[in-house]
């Protein structure tokens, strides 16, 4: 099982795109995305210093563009990815690149969205003096309790021993003076308290733009930052991309889903290293590949070949699949059960997946006619496993 991941803000370093621009195809594609984003990505990826590319409005389009173009270098024909990629995920803004990778958004839609995301988050950060602090080590429960005690938010939960606290500068100063035992605190050079309520103005801006964006349902599993669940409705993916700006990133739950999928290989798009580093600590025995420079492309393709397997949900668009959001036990529930030929109304619950942690309803966002149940009552199911095949009704999307 191959999972492809895209890093978030903070992964960028000065000049990281320079070796990639030696390829004329990469350079011309970057010029196109620069035109869409309205900023000179080639300049910022090769000539700009660390302080300049730390700017949220620059860093975010730069990161998404680099992930998208490196993925095209690995998979020159985008549909090739669906024959090998078991799942995709992105950390924070990297989730926009992941959404493109599974077919929810086009590259152009993503660049407009990330352009406005970066601008809106930068504007929101100017309203109050806020920041973020990494908390390394310490007892997890004590760390989370101390963060809450000081009125902060665990904005990034990246797995064992790595949590990022966010809030006002004053709150972080008090936290620094009274932090959790046996933990190391590292202030981060960021413009604001991302993934907290301080970013709510940006959510409002993006929500407005999202109303005009057309989406497609994912063609491979997309693991959501919000809760590690598999999301297989394009509109829901977009909704989550908007809301995640002010909601914590649960990368720990994303990695748990990867473990539930029995991932064997994780390929990180450039600027790579952060997410594969976390995976090495949290997912023992899983092979990782950090793609940083184009001279690694042949090895990256060999890595894909080694770990890849076809997507279970890359189906014909004339059929609509409903998939399991998580690992658990499948049931059609206690109410009226739908059989082959029955009509399912939009938004109707057609199944339930139960685990030790949750019990989640599986809804049919667009409705349809039941063509075939793909699992039996009481079957164990994996994240993203197809449960039922529906045929769209006349007039449905």
Q: Please check the confidence at residue 395 and state whether its pLDDT lies above 70.
A: no
Q: What are the start and end residues of each CATH 2.40.50.100 domain in the chain?
A: 320-391
- For the stretch 171-189, pLDDT in tens is 999 999 999 999 999 998 7
Q: Which of 92, 246, 324, 382 is catalytic?
A: 92
Q: Please check the confidence at residue 241 and state whether its pLDDT lies above 80.
A: yes
Q: What are the start and end residues of each CATH 3.40.366.10 domain in the chain?
A: 2-124+197-307
- For the stretch 64-111, pLDDT in tens is 999 999 999 999 888 888 889 999 999 999 999 999 999 999 999 999
Identify the pLDDT of residue 82.
Answer: 86
**Average pLDDT for the chain:** 93
Question: 316 pLDDT band (50/70/90 cuts)?
Answer: low
Identify the pLDDT of residue 393.
Answer: 77
CATH number of 2-124+197-307: 3.40.366.10
Identify the pLDDT of residue 392.
Answer: 85
Identify the pLDDT of residue 317.
Answer: 56
- For the stretch 190-235, pLDDT in tens is 889 999 999 999 999 999 999 999 999 999 999 999 999 999 999 9
- For the stretch 146-171, pLDDT in tens is 999 999 999 999 988 899 999 999 99
Cα–Cα distance for residue pair 321/228, rounded to 1 Å: 20
What is the mean predicted confidence (pLDDT) over 4-33?
95
SS (H, E, C) the chain: CEEEEECCCCCCCCCCCHHHHHCHHHHHHHHHHHHHHCCCHHHHHHCCCHHHHHCHHHHHHHHHHHHHHHHHHHCCCHHHHHHCCCEEEECCCHHHHHHHHCCCCCHHHHHHHHHHHHHHHHHHHCCCCEEEEEEEECCHHHHHHHHHHCCCEEEEECCCCEEEEEEEHHHHHHHHHCCCCCEEEEECCCCCCCCCHHHHHHHHHHHHHHCCCCCCCCCCEEECCCCCCECCCHHHHHHHHHHHHHCCECHHHHHHHHHHCCCCEEEECCCCCHHHHHHHHHCCCCEEEECCCHHHHHHHHHHHHHHCCCCCCCCCCCCEEEECCCCEEEECCCCCCCCCCCEECCCEEEEEEECCCCEEEEEECCCEEEEEECCCCCCEECCCCEEEEEECCCCCC
Any catalytic annotation for residue 195? yes
Model pTM? Answer: 0.93
- For the stretch 135-149, pLDDT in tens is 999 999 999 999 999
- Name 295's Cβ contacts closer than 8 Å, sequence gap at least 6: 19
Q: What are the start and end residues of each CATH 3.30.70.250 domain in the chain?
A: 126-187
CATH superfamily of 126-187: Malonyl-CoA ACP transacylase, ACP-binding (3.30.70.250)
Identify the pLDDT of residue 80.
Answer: 85
- For the stretch 267-298, pLDDT in tens is 999 999 999 999 999 999 999 999 999 999 99
Identify the pLDDT of residue 284.
Answer: 93
Q: Which of 150, 195, 232, 366 is catalytic?
A: 195
Question: 310 pLDDT band (50/70/90 cuts)?
Answer: confident
CATH number of 320-391: 2.40.50.100
Q: Which two tokens stand for residue 91?
A: 């950390």
- For the stretch 39-70, pLDDT in tens is 999 999 999 999 999 999 999 999 999 999 99
């Amino acid at each position: 099982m191959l999972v492809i991941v895209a890093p978030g803000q903070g992964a960028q370093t000065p000049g990281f795109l320079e070796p990639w621009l030696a390829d004329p195809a990469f350079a011309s594609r970057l010029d196109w995305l620069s035109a869409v984003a309205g900023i000179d990505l080639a300049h910022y990826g090769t000539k700009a210093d660390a302080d300049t590319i730390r700017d949220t409005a620059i860093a975010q389009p730069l990161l998404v563009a680099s992930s998208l173009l490196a993925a095209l270098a690995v998979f020159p024909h985008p549909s090739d990815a669906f024959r090998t990629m078991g799942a995709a995920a992105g950390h924070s803004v990297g989730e926009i690149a992941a959404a493109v990778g599974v077919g929810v958004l086009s590259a152009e839609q993503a660049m407009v969205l990330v352009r406005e995301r970066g601008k809106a988050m930068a504007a929101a950060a100017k309203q109050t003096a806020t920041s973020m602090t990494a908390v390394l080590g310490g007892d997890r429960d004590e760390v989370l309790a101390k963060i809450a005690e000081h009125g902060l938010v665990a904005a990034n939960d990246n797995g064992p021993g790595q949590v990022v606290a966010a809030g006002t500068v004053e709150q972080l100063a008090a936290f620094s003076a009274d932090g959790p035992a046996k933990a190391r605190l590292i202030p981060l050079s960021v413009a604001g308290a991302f993934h907290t309520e301080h970013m709510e103005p940006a959510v409002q801006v993006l929500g407005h733009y999202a109303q005009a964006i057309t989406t497609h349902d994912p063609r491979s599993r997309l693991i959501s930052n919000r809760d590690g669940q598999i999301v297989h409705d394009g509109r829901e993916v977009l909704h989550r991309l908007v809301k995640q700006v002010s909601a914590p990133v649960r990368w720990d739950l994303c990695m748990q889903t990867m473990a539930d999928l029995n991932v064997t290989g994780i390929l990180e798009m450039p600027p790579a290293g952060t997410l594969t580093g976390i995976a090495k600590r949290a997912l023992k025995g899983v092979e990782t590949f950090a793609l940083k420079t184009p001279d690694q492309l042949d090895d990256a393709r060999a890595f894909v070949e080694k770990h890849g397997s076809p997507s279970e949900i890359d189906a014909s668009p004339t059929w609509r699949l409903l998939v399991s959001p998580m690992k658990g036990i499948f049931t059609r529930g206690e109410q009226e059960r739908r059989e082959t030929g029955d009509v399912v109304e939009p938004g109707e619950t057609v199944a339930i997946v139960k685990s030790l942690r949750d019990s989640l309803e599986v809804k049919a966002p667009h409705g349809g006619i039941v063509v075939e149940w793909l699992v039996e009552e009481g079957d164990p199911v994996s994240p993203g496993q197809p449960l039922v095949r529906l045929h769209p009704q006349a007039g449905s999307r």
